[in-house]
Amino acid sequence: MDFVGTRGFRLTLFWLLLAAPATASLLDDKADDYIKRLTHPSEDVRNQTTYDIGHTFWNEPRGARLIHALIKALDDPSERVRAGAAYALVSLAPNKESVTALPALEKASHDRFPSVRREAAKALVKIRRRQDKP
């Protein structure tokens, strides 16, 4: 007897179908929260938010909503926030909308801080690689 006909399979399938919409909703809520946190007055909150975005939305299509907020974060006065925004854009590079970040990343690749330049260069390479794929 194969696993497909078993009770365990049916229960697993039931829980997967039940959990999928909840996961999508949670990610949408997190995206909204991250967009608000990127405009927080505290540099530490903005910096931590950029890294949270990179970890939470790694290769996640719903992360596309955050790309425009991260482009704005590349102009932040804080070096740490700019480097974090470039890091997060590396994570979001598989999204089609990441191409809109190319001009801002080009500018960030000439930043006076090496950490910003390094992360921006990584993001540029990854986004251009994604752009070359059909």
**Which H, E and C letters describe the chain, residue by residue?**
CCHHHCHHHHHHHHHHHHHHHHHHHHHHHHHHHHHHHCCCCCHHHHHHHHHHHHHHCCCCHHHHHHHHHHHHHCCCCCHHHHHHHHHHHHHCCCCHHHHHHHHHHHHHCCCCCHHHHHHHHHHHHHHHHHHHCC
Work out the mean pLDDT of the chain and round it to a whole number.
83
**Each residue's pLDDT tens digit, 74-129:** 999 999 999 999 999 998 988 888 899 999 999 999 999 999 999 999 999 999 98
The domains of the chain, with CATH numbers, are 28-132 (1.25.10.10)
Percent of the chain having pLDDT more than 90?
53
pTM, two decimal places: 0.77
- pLDDT value of position 102: 95
User: Pick the residue with more confidence: 96 or 22?
Assistant: 96
- pLDDT value of position 31: 87
- For residue 8, pLDDT beyond 90: no
**Each residue's pLDDT tens digit, 106-121:** 999 999 999 999 999 9
